[in-house]
Structure 1
């Protein structure tokens, strides 16, 4: 089939064109000899209508190809423009969302930083309170040693004064109070140490979250600065995915919210514990002060009682010494009276003895005889009475001597008790801290 050497200009048909180029129609071979001679020239040629249709089809294809190319160029231009606008919008929207994200990160970062600073300050305040507790606990060692020393000193009282008096009751009460205060201070110190540990753990959690926020803020701030002119941008196809362990905006915000909430709870617990520590130290100081005053008052009262008792005993001793002197003089007088009466009795006995030698009828029961016998009887009665009185006086003197010894012993016991209570106990109690609350602030 012959093809044209040059292309023809497109011809717009005036009638509908066929949808495709017609195929070549071969003519039947002629039966004559002449037909046999031209058969090879006739079979490869188009008919004229076919040739026109062929040209029209080529022109149509060229026309449609041009239209399609023009539409493609228009679509490409529109696509380029749309893609550029869409890319600008997408990049602007991404930048805006990154900016909003930066604001969110900045908000939580500031909140976390504020919470970290407040929690750190609160931890330092609680640590100072814990130090006050430790100093207060150390300050209770002196009162406790004073009380134990007082109790041990008072054990050296001699048996008559070795009694469970009001002073000992108040000292035992003071010892129990100090032991209870020391136990309470130790428990509170442990509680404060635990709270400080919790504060620091939560502060560390907030610091880790804050550190992540700072790093993320720097990353997103760097991302906001990227543009098409940036020299450090490149393809990262593997990053176009969602990580399985990635958080959601809700869980992300909830995580920081929970950290801040837990920090607030720990801070509130720390504030309440600090207030409790203040109350404990104040109440313990007041209790110790009141009990110390009660013990000192009991000591003062007991020492006054001892002084009064010792004074009464000394007065009794003076009287007993006077009675002893009087009794000794009385015994001397009695002995002298007995000797005197014995002399009179000897005279009477001698008279009766001599008169018993009168001879015969002269041995008469005359009035002198009766008088002498009565005199002897009277003297005998007086002598017996004087001797009984002498024995009584000697026994009284012995009793007075025993009483004197008892009084002297009692006075010595009272003096020993006064020395123990006033000199040993009350003198040692001068070292007693004035105020436990003040002692908790001392360096």
Structure 2
């Protein structure tokens, strides 16, 4: 290996880039925190290194940035000073060259640099210690604040669970009350429908009674009190049916409103149940719970649709709506009961009025029939006596024939007296008078006979009229007493008319 002497070293190195132009003679130290978290570029390389065993390399290792040197001094990479391959290639230097190369700094500079480094070290260590203490304090404060914040969030979740459970219990209670009210209203609606069905029988009975009474005959076909009461009963039943139908329509409408309120309660209760499950799961989460993960940006998503006031108001409005519907339903049930009792009483009152009219009419008809029967019996007796009287008159007229023949024969025989014997004597006068008396008697008897026969005809006609009237009265009694009153015995009870089954 050939040695070179007297050669300057400035041309054998590359100039490293200048990092700063500070007043310090030594490169500034980097902060501990910065050196812990940043990866810096490796130090610059030189093409040749000097074998300077007397120059410590730790001075250059303390800085990870390039060292500022004088402009005329060569820039050296300390990491290459002790490499074997470089040492073997560095040419030996002459003492004169060594003195010329490192004669730039003075001892004062050296002491000044050391003192500067000491002060910088003290300041850096003091700053680092303060930073450490502050960091420890901040860590403790942030840990405590994080724990307190988490506890506050857990407490808020617990309070929220209590609020949701409170409204859930209120909704459950109101839902139970509404379900009970719906069942009760359904029961009352069924009663109304049963009461409406029960009115069909009385209406049919009244109409059939009117139809049957149209079969009355003759003079009995009158617009009497019974018929008026029957027509009034038909009107009462139809009016009752209209009232019951109106109440059924109201019940159906109220049931729809009740079910709508019940549906809102069920929907709100279902949402409360899901919210309780979610918030309960969130309330039970801790730092050691499994399944935790990051959800970046979730805190910036706001999908809320209500505030605590509007949230509570929503459930409160649902409960208030349900209570209003329940109160309306209770009022409707009370009105339905009043209507059923009213219609039942009205129908039964009119039913009794019709029955009283029937009883009065039947009694009148029976009295009339009995009177007709009495009169008919008397007429029949009179007819029998009149027939006997007519027979007597006829016999009396017949009996006048013989005396008439005797008187006329006497007169005819005396006409054959001779000459002066044809005298108008007392016997002649008496015979003539006798014939006249017999004629007059026969005329009287015949007149009486004709009068008796006329009377007999009148009695016969009266008998026929009475018999026909008796038949009419019997027919009316059969219609009113047997058919109509027989039908009216099947009139439903007041309980059935009020909608109760099995009464």
Shorter-chain TM-score range: 0.7 to 0.9
Deviates more, 1:77-86 or 1:344-353: 344-353
Cα offset, 1:381, TM superposition: 2.5
Output the TM-score relative to the length of structure 1.
0.86
What's the offset of the Cα at 1:118? 0.6
Change (3 A) 1:439 1:253: closer
Partner of 2:253: 194
Structure 1 residue 308 corresponds to structure 2 residue 367: yes
Paired position in structure 1 for 2:134? 75
SS at match of 2:489: helix
1:44–1:339 CA distance, 2 compared to 1 (3 A)? farther
Query: Pick from 168, 177, 182: which aligns with 1:109?
Result: 168
Map of 2:32 onto structure 1 = none
Other-structure match for 2:214: 155
Query: Cα deviation per residue 1:357-403 (whole Å; 9 max; x = unaligned)?
Result: 33333333322233333333333222222212211111111111111
* Corresponding residue for residue 284 of structure 2: 225
C-alpha contact (below 8 Å) 1:136/1:436 kept by paired residues: no
User: Measured at CA, do residues 358 and 239 of structure 1 come closer, stay the same or move farther in structure 2, by a change above 3 Å?
Assistant: farther
Over residues 147-195 of structure 1, what are the superposed CA-to-partner deviations in whole Å (9 max), with x where a residue is unaligned?
Answer: 2222222122213211111111112222222222223223322322232
What's the counterpart of residue 419 of structure 2?
Answer: 360
Find out whether 1:400 has 2:459 as its counterpart: yes
Distance in 1 (CA, whole Å) between partners of 2:371 and 2:493 is 36
Is structure 2 residue 485 aligned with structure 1 residue 435? Answer: no
**Do the aligned partners of residues 60 and 326 (structure 1) sit closer, same or farther apart at CA in structure 2, a change above 3 Å counting?**
same
Query: Which sits farther off after the overlay, 431-440 or 265-274?
Result: 431-440
Change (3 A) 1:164 1:41: same
> Is 2:136 the counterpart of 1:88?
no
Q: How does 1:41-440 map to 2 (within 5 A)?
A: 45=104, 54-437=113-496, 440=499
Partner of 2:40: none
The 2-side partners of 1:159 and 1:41 are apart by 169
TM-fit CA distance, 1:303: 0.8
Q: Is the 8 A contact 2:198 2:497 kept in 1?
A: no
Q: Assess if the C-alpha contact under 8 Å between 1:352 and 1:369 holds in 2.
A: yes
Cα gap change, 1:289/1:352 in structure 2, threshold over 3 Å: closer, same or farther? same
Contact 1:342/1:383 (CA < 8 Å) preserved in 2?
Answer: no
Aligned length: 420
Change (3 A) 1:357 1:44: farther
- For residues 352 and 25 of structure 2, the distance between their equivalents in structure 1, rounded to whole angstroms, comes to 139
8 Å CA contact retained: 2:341, 2:498: no
The gaps in structure 1 that reach 5 residues or longer are 8-21, 27-36
Seen in structure 2, the aligned counterparts of structure 1 residues 24 and 50 have a Cα distance that, compared at 3 Å, is farther
* Greater alpha carbon shift after TM alignment, 70-79 vs 139-148: 139-148
| CA RMSD between the two structures | 2.9
Q: Deviations over 1:63-94 (max 9, x none)?
A: 33323222221221111111011111111111
Q: Over alpha carbons, which structure has the higher Rg? A: 2
- Contact residue 198 and residue 496 of structure 2 kept, 8 A: no
Shift of 1:51: 6.0
Q: Is the 8 A contact 1:351 1:372 kept in 2?
A: yes
**Is the Cα contact below 8 Å between 1:147 and 1:171 reproduced in 2?**
yes
TM-score of the two chains, using structure 2 as the length reference: 0.77
How far 1:53 sits from its partner (Å)? 5.5
Measured after TM superposition, the shift of residue 120 of structure 1 is 0.6
Q: 2:340 & 2:346 partners in 1: Cα distance?
A: 10
- C-alpha contact 2:390 2:453 (8 A) present in aligned 1: yes
- 1:284-303 CA distances to partner (integer Å, 9 max, x unpaired)? 22122212211111111111
Higher relative contact order (CA 8 A, sep 6+): 1
The 8 Å contact of residues 151 and 168 in structure 1, kept in 2 or not, is answered as yes
Structure 2, unpaired ranges of 5+: 1-23, 27-54, 60-67, 73-95
Contact 1:313 1:410 in 2 (8 A): yes
- Indicate if the aligned counterparts of 1:306 and 1:418 stay in contact, CA closer than 8 A: yes
